[in-house]
Amino acid sequence: MSTNPVTRSITLPRRGAANQTITTGGNLLFVGANGSGKTRLGTWLDMSSPDHARVFRISAQKSLTMPDTTTPTSIDLAEQDLIFGHPTGRQNKNHRWRDKPATFFLNDFQKLMVFLFSDETEENAKFKIAQRQSATKLEPPLTRMDKVKRVWERILPHRELVVGGLRIQTQVRGDTSKIYNSSEMSDGERVIFYLIGQCLAAPQDAIIVIDEPELHLHKSVQAPLWAEVERLRPDCLFVYLTHDVDFAVAQEGAQRVWLKSFDGTSWDWELIEDKDDLPDDLLIEVLGSRKPVVFVEGVNGSHDVSLYREILTGFLVIPRGSCDQVIQAVRALRSNTQLHHLQVYGLIDRDRRTALEIAALQTDNIYTLDVAEVESLFCTEEVLALVSARLARDTRADFNQAVTQVFKQLKTELDTQVSLRVIAEVKFKLNCFDASARGVPALSTALQQLTQDIDISALYAQFDGEFQTAINATDYRGLLRLYNRKSLPNQIGSALGLKAGELVEFVVRLARTDARIAVIAAIKPYLGPFSPLVA
């Protein structure tokens, strides 16, 4: 590894090619799905890589049992015991991992404590000798334990480490009546101590490899902790191995590497290029999944997104808010040459779209529901039959009542619904303005031709006719395709004796039971051209 203070280099294995060197001005972040070989790569870096002598690895598989008391020893022996797993195991890392470097459950908290207190004892002894020999008062040394305490308390400002008597205790800051031993610390408190201490124990100019750096850490402390630790060790190159989106996004200055796959002997990986049209969280979430991706409207926690996740289990479902954001995300990912092999789809509401617009979107893998809005999926005849049966009600009577109520409501707002369809069509036509026109005459002609093709009366008559056809035939499925009304589940739920909001909650719960297959079968026909992709 290069010791240049500005850039550092590390050698990585690559499938079908010779080892490749990456040079970076920051740290390295490997992101990949489960099974992509992150832990095995960390093991290779530690045990077999050309840089292995400089690598200090912090495993994801580790014990957080923190001893209450510690006995220091020679600093050299303590360092060897921590780094190599044996006081006399110099340069042989197999001692540390018991010959199972990829799977061994590391239990070295005691060794870390011995090292830190041995370092404390050593530095204090040196200071005592230096002070005796000096005619002036010297500043006491800042030991590794001092640094651990300082950073730990910055990350957990309401807690205080009490170091003394070869033991560590914790108390609420400023309250000596509530002190407790290190073994009684929370997992978060102990892992923060462990990670700071381990990184301070790493040799000079080390490559510090951290597998799952987010483990046991609350999301609010992940970025601040690692920023503090990196400042403590500016001489080291940090290599993070993760599939955690939030952690990966927070590492702004790191060179990101997409770990695509591991076949048991070699890795397929690629440097991640920054793209202005792709938010970091979106890109990393996609790279961290082995499933095809489908972007949907809505937000995490909403009932519609929850339903999508229950019925589209073969996909990574990512909500993107509005339909425009779904369209943008799909097009951005599909246009990214790095991601050309990924299966990326969009699934959006029909929302008064024209047949021409729906067909155009599908060429970009953006599919349109066969209902006006996703809320209507909770209201299909098949779904209502499932719900009614589960409630031990008369399914036919419930459906007839639901149909009566919804058609009655539609008739009261027919003019509004038709007008909104006309408005949507006019907006679509206006988007077809000839953008190649230049100059006043050409622009005026283009606008005139465009407006001449917009006949409001004809459009109103056309859409009114579509609604009237559905009404006259009591075509419930046709109504779901035409009727934009987000409150539809509440209207229809009342016909089944349910209160507002209860129908959608019931359907989502039903999809999480042994009725899941039946729920999928009830909804699948309404997913339009996307339905053949659903298992």
Please indicate, yes or no, if residue 308 is contained in any of the structural domains: yes
Domain boundary among 271, 302, 324: 271
pLDDT tens track for 35-91? 889 999 999 999 999 999 999 999 998 888 898 888 999 999 999 999 998 888 667
176 plus 301 within the same structural domain: no
3 state DSSP class of 202: coil
Q: What is the pLDDT at residue 15?
A: 84
Looking up tokens 């500043």 gives 139
- Dihedral in degrees, nearest 10, Cα atoms 502, 503, 508, 510: 100
153 plus 236 within the same structural domain: yes
Q: What is the pLDDT at residue 3?
A: 44
356 plus 404 within the same structural domain: yes
Please indicate, yes or no, if residue 243 is contained in any of the structural domains: yes
Q: Please, are residues 390 and 519 in contact by the beta-carbon 8 Å criterion? A: no
**Gap between the Cα atoms of 159 and 154, Å rounded:** 9
CATH number at residue 123: 3.40.50
Burial classification of residue 411, based on how many CB atoms lie within 10 Å of its CB (0-12 exposed, 13-18 middle, 19 or more buried)? exposed
Please indicate, yes or no, if residue 284 is contained in any of the structural domains: no
Domain boundary among 271, 301, 316: 271
Please indicate, yes or no, if residue 255 is contained in any of the structural domains: yes
Q: What is the pLDDT at residue 286?
A: 85
237 plus 378 within the same structural domain: no
Domain boundary among 238, 271, 304: 271
Q: What are the contacts of 309-315 at 24+ separation with CB within 8 A?
A: 310/508, 310/511, 310/512, 310/516, 310/519, 311/511, 311/516, 311/519, 311/520, 311/523, 311/524, 311/534, 312/534, 313/535, 314/534, 314/535, 315/291, 315/345
For residue 68, what are the CA distances in angstroms to 167, 179, 193? 6, 13, 14
For residue 227, what are the CA distances in angstroms to 9, 55, 120? 20, 20, 24
pTM of the full predicted structure? 0.77
The structural domain count of the chain equals 2
Quote the tokens at residue 468: 């009237």
Please indicate, yes or no, if residue 357 is contained in any of the structural domains: yes
263 plus 300 within the same structural domain: no
Task: Characterize the bridge pairing of strands 159-164 and 167-172.
Answer: antiparallel
Q: What is the pLDDT at residue 63?
A: 87
Order of strands across the sheet that contains 179-181: 159-164, 167-172, 179-181
250 plus 339 within the same structural domain: no
Please indicate, yes or no, if residue 278 is contained in any of the structural domains: no
Q: What is the pLDDT at residue 424?
A: 85
Q: Give the phi and the psi of residue 309 in degrees, each rounded to 5.
A: -70, -30
Provide the residue range defining the domain that includes 425: 291-533
DSSP string, 114-141: HHHHHHHHHHHHHHHHHHHH-SSPPPPP
207 plus 108 within the same structural domain: yes
Q: What is the pLDDT at residue 4?
A: 44
Residues of the chain with pLDDT under 50: 1-5
Q: What is the pLDDT at residue 6?
A: 61
**Gap between the Cα atoms of 47 and 109, Å rounded:** 21
Q: What is the pLDDT at residue 276?
A: 61
Please indicate, yes or no, if residue 276 is contained in any of the structural domains: no
Q: What is the pLDDT at residue 426?
A: 85
**Gap between the Cα atoms of 464 and 312, Å rounded:** 35
182 plus 304 within the same structural domain: no
CA atoms within a 13 Å half-sphere pointing along the CA-CB vector of 312: 25
Please indicate, yes or no, if residue 234 is contained in any of the structural domains: yes
Nearest to 338 by CA among 274, 245, 246, 253: 274
Q: What is the pLDDT at residue 111?
A: 94
